[in-house]
Amino acid sequence: MNYKFFPLFFVLLLMSFTSLPSKTNSTKINATLAEENISKNVSIYNQLDANSFAMPNFDCFNTALTGFQLLKEKGLITKNILTLVDFSLSSTAKRLWVIDLEKNVVLFHTLVAHGRNTGEEFANEFSNQAESFKSSIGFYATGEIYNGKHGMSLKLDGLEKGLNDKARERAVVMHGAEYVSESFIRQNKRLGRSQGCPAIPVEMNEKIINVIKNKSCLFIYHPSKSSEILARLNT
């Protein structure tokens, strides 16, 4: 027997009994990983100490936590602090949560405004364009504190191309505003609106900004765009 060709013969024989992973198998693997991820997120959600606040919606939390983990792996955020804004809710509801993922506890739960051209009581139109006066959804990394026309303010860096990556040039920042208050809601049947910034109550401004500043994750959610948000984050 000519042993010179034995290695090649052996490889060919082995390949005849071995099937490469199919596209179907890859899809099944991805689906399994997604299910495992959701299962982990459900566990974290169920153990979350709401600190006597209302719990965030699970779909919002699940999308936010999945994105947070991706951004942490990429080094785009460094803190274990996650801020959620759920724009599926009425502006009369407290729809901003700040969560300490290290201690798994809700630190703050408060009102937050959307842009004046994003909607009246409910947020339904979003934009990444300058002078649109609309909110931008998706994931952000918090930046540095500065003192602006609204006092202490926090710069934001949008992390999703086409959705919010013009946030800094649009001057979309977190700041306190008098129109974000229960008294404004009582008088107007809705919350006041910003020029696109996630504005919060004046009395909460300093407390929240000092916790979430410098590379924590801010996520602005709307159910109509949740799948698009994660897809863009993965590109």
Q: Encode pLDDT of 152-168 as tens digits.
A: 999 999 999 999 999 99
Cβ atoms of residues 204 and 124 within 8 Å:
no
Whether 193 is covered by a domain: the verdict is yes
Distance CA 70, CA 25 (A): 24
Nearest residue to 139 via CA among 198, 194, 57: 198
pTM of the predicted model, to two decimals?
Answer: 0.85
Q: Give the lowest-confidence range in 20-34, 95-109, 165-179.
A: 20-34
What tokens were used for 26?
């890859």
Cβ atoms of residues 180 and 111 within 8 Å:
yes
The structural domain count of the chain equals 1
- Domain range for 154: 49-233
CATH number of domain containing 53: 2.40.440.10
Whether 6 is covered by a domain: the verdict is no
Phi then psi for 151, rounded to 5 degrees? Answer: 80, -145
Residue 19 has pLDDT above 50, yes or no: no
